[in-house]
Structure 1
Amino acid sequence: MSFNVWSRRRFLLGVATGTAALATGRLLADATSTTILEPVHGAVLNRRHGRQTDKGLEIEVLGVAPEDQAVIVNGQAAQRQGALYRAKVILAEHENEIVASSRGPRGHQEHRIKVIWDRNSRPRYRFSIDDNSFFLRDIAQHQYASLFDCWYLAMLRDLHKKYGTKFVLNIYYTTGDDFNLTQFPDRYKGEWADNADWLKLAFHAWADKPDRPYQHASPQQLAADFDRVAEQILRFAGEATYSPPTVIHWGMVLPASLSVLKERGVRVLSGYFTQIGGVWDVNYHLDPSRSAYLSRHDAWMDFESGIVFSRVDIVCNNTPVDQIVPTLAPLMDDPNTAEIMDIFTHEQYFWPFYQRYLPDHPQRLETAIRWLTEQGYEPVFYHEGFLGVPV
């Protein structure tokens, strides 16, 4: 395929390549500025996106520039075909700058972006469970001899023993009625510590209701709720069990609240990055172009906040057992979604007293975990290293 045909086809299939957010007319008309189209600023790139060498990851940069100007990308002359250009660059660091510059009758032009090289990347999955409070109330009310006399934790431990799965349980301060975290005893602290290599607790919200509690809440309100939950986790479960959260209830916080989360150790935030009624939602208020990008990529780095945003690949309580594998399998065919699986569900659907109880909920989890294990994916915690791997 010629460069011209290849490039135009790649752009027109922008939904797959990440350039869909840019207007068609702007790209296919004569370019008036030097612009990098791929990769995008904040892209998280791994071995699937290029060729790994002893010098680093070799990737291709695609862009547009005025036809009468030569283009240099990170010191190398780019190939030109009309307004389009491409060049190969080596990513040698975790964080890399790509600079495309041109000089001609229009003067000097330059476009700079930064991307992440996930150099130690490997196929991996993380499992996060939201909306936890019922199991804590159950243990506190029954005063079990062991945490794992609670069937919910016993189920998770069985999955860990069978597949090595690691779980982060995102918890509420209160069930909203007769229980809050101050009522949970600290006598299980040693048992929490003994299982901290695979079981973590993290802040989720003050309570299940109201919905979307932090979508428009002040940073101060989020910080206050966060700190009270973290204080209790540390009191009754200890530092080894505590994890920074990766999901805030409903996946929505104000941009001004990102610094509050970063200060408290948050490095990753997961969301759906999906359109509901034509509006991007469960997306932490990211703009449409970044939300669209995340809807078809594993992750995107927000250099301004220092937080990586991750796309949830499956919500088990929303996915029948026979649809688990058909939902996950196609993701392996796309280099932009194949490397990291962000697996997700909600606690309440496990409990028979819940009005939307799912009797097969444990089977949904095991189906997803078993398939991922068979495909060679390893369990990780997102807060360790970069998205679960060493930097």
Structure 2
Amino acid sequence: MYYFSFGYPANHVFLTDAAGKKTENGLKIQCIFNADPSRSIAINGVPATPASGCLKATVELTSFKNILTAVDTQTGEKNSITVYYVKKAHKTYRFSLDDNIWFLQDIAKNQHIYRSIFENPYLSMLKGVHDQYGTHFHLNIYYETPHDGGFNLTMMPDKYKSEFIAHSDWLRFSFHANADKPDRPFIRKGYDQTKFECLRVAEHIIRFAGEESYAKEVTTMHWGDATKESVRALRACGVRMLVGSFRYANPNNVQIRYYLNAEQCALMENYGFYYDPETDMEFVRYGSTLQHTALEDVPVLSALFEKQYPLYSHKEICVHEQYFYPHYVRYMPDYPQRFDIGVKWPVENGYRSLFLSDIMEFDQKR
């Protein structure tokens, strides 16, 4: 018995130039349709040809949002899916950092000494990488660190606001969580509490760093795990895309997948980008092993990832702020070297550094 459904591409995924051949008007892709090869099928008006257990047709994606419709020209049976062509995503990378708060605590503590935010060693390191490679950095921040001095964002002065704004073309901030503990907070928090915490952090980012420095549309929720209600709360705050690892059945750790099911996580594995119309939220997955990998293995694994997931030609790199500090239990003495090696590979292999807000065309209707 044959199905009557699309095998490729899948519904609600995002495609980059890696999915087909660029044309003057868009991107040509080869669709695979699951049906009896003897049936007369047309996809967006293009007759499909029989293949091994399926039918295939080459169609052109000419817009950001594209509806693909397969029709049995004899019976009239139809099947439609929606796919998105992201023209700017191919061969791009983004570097995000999670669990940020201590660098702000240091700046606040030294506000009468530091003439520049880049006198903070952590930001100084990031600026060095940016100056050398042109890398954009997206920092997801906490509201407070109650177990490490009691600092919270109300204590961060706004005297450096103009400097933050001046560097907002490559350095931006967004909400991460209220604090480092508890673990996996957003599987416990409801809509109202999540929304309150997000808006509170956003208010302070804008206060001390300016609207230009606030990465409103993209963030990573702490632990990358959440209920639909907490995701809906962030959507109400203006967040359009969430970043995570989407490990549905991980034998070495808890499931880190927000609320996505096994099928959706499988799509994330292959395509890297996915849109869920139920919550009106988009998702993108990590594509780097920078934090827990031997330095000499980083280039090898980066190249392997590119070969294993040819459709996912955007690269998400992430590390955590705490590993920078000698007093932290998981301190990495080679932390700065990891940035150099982690960024050097995509740069030398033709990747451009962009914020996701510059890639995803959030102004386009989903």
Task: Work out the CA distance in 1 between the residues paired with 2:25 and 2:87.
Answer: 11
Deviations 1:35-91 (A, max 9, x none): 111110022112221122223211111122245632121112211257521111111
8 A Cα contact 2:224 2:258, kept in partner: yes
Deviations 1:256-310 (A, max 9, x none): 3333222322222111112323898221110101102212332223344333211
- Greater RCO, CA 8 A, separation 6+: 2
Range moving further from structure 2, 364-373 or 274-283: 274-283
CA 1:74–1:157: 2 relative to 1, 3 Å: same
CA 1:255–1:231: 2 relative to 1, 3 Å: same
User: What residue in structure 1 maps to residue 288 of structure 2?
Assistant: 314
Deviations 1:1-60 (A, max 9, x none): xxxxxxxxxxxxxxxxxxxxxxxxxxxxx21x4211111002211222112222321111
Task: Work out the CA distance in 2 between the residues paired with 1:220 and 1:272.
Answer: 25
User: What residue in structure 2 maps to residue 258 of structure 1?
Assistant: 231
CA 1:227–1:315: 2 relative to 1, 3 Å: farther
User: What residue in structure 1 maps to residue 203 of structure 2?
Assistant: 231
Q: Decide which of 83, 86, 93 is 1:118's aligned counterpart.
A: 86
CA 1:161–1:340: 2 relative to 1, 3 Å: same
Range moving further from structure 2, 344-353 or 375-384: 375-384
Query: Is 1:294–2:264 an aligned residue pair?
Result: no
Q: Decide which of 189, 200, 203 is 1:217's aligned counterpart.
A: 189
Q: Decide which of 311, 316, 323 is 2:297's aligned counterpart.
A: 323
Q: Decide which of 21, 34, 42 is 2:12's aligned counterpart.
A: 42
1:214 aligns to what SS in structure 2? helix
CA 1:68–1:314: 2 relative to 1, 3 Å: closer
Deviations 1:94-138 (A, max 9, x none): 10001112255xx54221100011224441110000000111111
8 A Cα contact 2:323 2:331, kept in partner: yes
1:203 aligns to what SS in structure 2? strand
Equivalences, count: 359
Deviations 1:221-261 (A, max 9, x none): 11011011111111111111111242110111212333322
Give me the TM-score of the superposition, normalised by structure 2.
0.91
8 A Cα contact 1:125 1:342, kept in partner: yes
Task: Work out the CA distance in 1 between the residues paired with 2:363 and 2:89.
Answer: 6
Which letter maps to 1:357?
Y
CA 1:199–1:390: 2 relative to 1, 3 Å: farther
2:185 aligns to what SS in structure 1? coil
Query: Is 1:352–2:326 an aligned residue pair?
Result: yes
Range moving further from structure 2, 162-171 or 376-385: 376-385
Task: Work out the CA distance in 2 between the residues paired with 1:351 and 1:154.
Answer: 14
CA 1:337–1:348: 2 relative to 1, 3 Å: farther
Task: Work out the CA distance in 2 between the residues paired with 1:365 and 1:314.
Answer: 12
1:296 aligns to what SS in structure 2? helix
Deviations 1:321-375 (A, max 9, x none): 1121122111232563552110000000000111111110111111011121111
2:302 aligns to what SS in structure 1? helix
User: What residue in structure 2 maps to residue 138 of structure 1?
Assistant: 106
Range moving further from structure 2, 243-252 or 355-364: 243-252
User: What residue in structure 1 maps to residue 48 of structure 2?
Assistant: 78
Range moving further from structure 2, 353-362 or 140-149: 140-149
CA RMSD, 1 decimal: 2.3
User: What residue in structure 1 maps to residue 313 of structure 2?
Assistant: 339
Query: Is 1:165–2:139 an aligned residue pair?
Result: no
Task: Work out the CA distance in 2 between the residues paired with 1:386 and 1:180.
Answer: 32
* Structure 2 gap ranges (5+): none
Task: Work out the CA distance in 1 between the residues paired with 2:137 and 2:294.
Answer: 21
8 A Cα contact 1:315 1:345, kept in partner: no
Range moving further from structure 2, 203-212 or 287-296: 287-296
8 A Cα contact 1:381 1:388, kept in partner: no
Task: Work out the CA distance in 1 between the residues paired with 2:198 and 2:107.
Answer: 22
Range moving further from structure 2, 266-275 or 254-263: 254-263
Which letter maps to 1:65?
A
Which letter maps to 1:297?
Y
Q: Decide which of 238, 244, 268 is 1:271's aligned counterpart.
A: 244
1:294 aligns to what SS in structure 2? helix
- Percentage identity across aligned positions? 35
User: What residue in structure 1 maps to residue 158 of structure 2?
Assistant: 186
CA 1:237–1:206: 2 relative to 1, 3 Å: same
8 A Cα contact 1:219 1:254, kept in partner: no
Which letter maps to 1:384?
D
Range moving further from structure 2, 301-310 or 164-173: 301-310
